[in-house]
Amino acid sequence: MRVLDFTAVMAGPFATRMLADLGADVLKVESLEGDQVRARPPMRDGRSAYFGHLNAGKRSIALNLKAPEAIAIIRELVAEYDILVENFRPGVMQRFGLDYESVAAINPRLIYCSISGYGQTGPKAQNPAYAPVIHAASGFDIVNMRYQDGADRPATGGIFVADVLGGTYAFAAIQTALYQREKTGEGQMIDVSMMEAMVGMLVFETQEAQFPGGNKRPLYTPLKTTDGFVMVAPTSPRNFEQLCDATGHPEWRDDPRFRTNADRNANWPALLGLAEVWTLQHSAAEAERILAEHGVPCAQYRDVPAVLEDPQLQSRAAFKRIEDGSGSFLVTNPPFRMSGARVEVRNLVAGLGEHGADVLRDELRMDAERVATLKATGTLK
């Protein structure tokens, strides 16, 4: 599969990197200035590991898309590619003459995926939106604030859930469209809304908003230990019994507050409070070990450096070391394995426009003189 990747920042690059991880030939189409993430830290000798993580395995061509010759080049490439992914604001690709209707006329088999904050239609379609904006607009931040005791404002954020979720939905929709194309021979347009992706994650909250007034939902709170915190989630009747055994409190089984699942849900804070009396007598690692040995769902809270060294993740090859010219660094592999396919990040982090001349020569059969002219006129980097 060959992919024209017009994406930048995170949601789109996240989707197209997974396509590259599965073996697709992804050609990242950048402006002459390049994807802005190329300049974001952590930087080493002028190269961004953040960019490398999101764009490993892709080739790069840098074009001035305001130049008619650049658009002509893209239209030639479209005829030979299977997938086009873009995450501009709605209308930008149309101004370039590269909207779905225009390119589908060139290649009816093309799968065309657009990722945007609010989708391609509707009253907010033209609004600029990055992940933190979508977190606020979707209800996610307010829901999360209400789950925090005593919070008087939404939490400050730095993890871009909407980008990852939107990119994941785009990746999945592209697979479905490819399967449909195998049956029909026709491509199609995919319109991914990050807003709708976030709202779709709020399953309980969507229903509670329509049918309020029920019992308060049990919340999972960190339990303090002698040196940190542990998460304990005794959600099933069996988990509760295992918790009683692990903590040495069999009498909890006969406590009227905890006899049934409904009783435990109604008295959830009390149950966790008693569990915390026990965890306060242990280190986080010790508490996790004892609870896990008894079958209680649990985990100690860890920071990312500890996660990078996690034996479980290492055994699964969840990280792979790649090079970008400024040294090596670890990036995540896709979180799934396939018995009949190679699924892993490819060790290539392209410099801006690194493959442009090769693409024009090898794929469009341009001679060296024309390629040199395109560079001289500022159409190609």
> What span, in angstroms and rounded, lies between the C-alpha atoms of 248 and 280?
14
Residues of the chain with CATH 3.30.1540.10: 223-300
Angle between helices 161-184 and 11-21 (to 10 degrees): 50
As beta bridge partners, residue 300 has 230
- Whole-angstrom CA distances from 261 to 19, 234, 252, 342, 363 are 44, 11, 13, 44, 64
Q: Are 125 and 119 in contact (CB under 8 A)?
A: yes
Helical residues (DSSP H) of the chain, grouped into ranges: 11-21, 49-55, 68-78, 92-96, 100-106, 131-137, 140-146, 161-184, 194-201, 203-210, 237-247, 261-266, 268-279, 284-293, 304-308, 311-315, 356-362, 368-376
Q: Residue 215: its pLDDT value, please?
A: 80
**How many CB atoms are closer than 10 A to CB 75?**
16
* Interval 255-300: pLDDT, tens: 999 999 999 999 999 999 999 999 999 999 999 999 999 999 999 9
User: Which residues are known catalytic residues?
Assistant: 163
* Backbone φ, ψ for residue 114 (5° rounding): -110, 130
Q: What is the CATH number of domain 2-202+317-376?
A: 3.40.50.10540
Q: Residue 104: its pLDDT value, please?
A: 98
The alpha carbons of the chain give a radius of gyration, in whole angstroms, of 25
Kindly give the confidence (pLDDT) of every residue in the chain, 381 residues in length, as a single tens digit, with 9 standing for 90 and above: 999 999 999 999 999 999 999 999 999 999 999 999 999 999 999 999 999 999 999 999 999 999 999 999 999 999 999 999 999 999 999 999 999 999 999 999 999 999 999 999 999 999 999 999 999 999 999 999 999 988 999 999 999 999 999 999 999 999 999 999 999 999 999 999 999 999 999 999 999 999 998 888 899 999 999 999 999 999 999 999 999 999 999 999 999 999 999 999 999 999 999 999 999 999 999 999 999 999 999 999 999 999 999 999 999 999 999 999 999 999 999 999 999 999 999 999 999 999 999 999 999 999 999 999 999 999 999
Residues of the chain with CATH 3.40.50.10540: 2-202+317-376
Q: How far apart are the first and last CA of the chain?
A: 25
Q: Residue 151: its pLDDT value, please?
A: 94
- Whole-angstrom CA distances from 252 to 109, 239, 259 are 63, 13, 8
* Interval 147-192: pLDDT, tens: 998 899 999 999 999 999 999 999 999 999 999 999 999 999 999 9
Class of domain 223-300: alpha beta
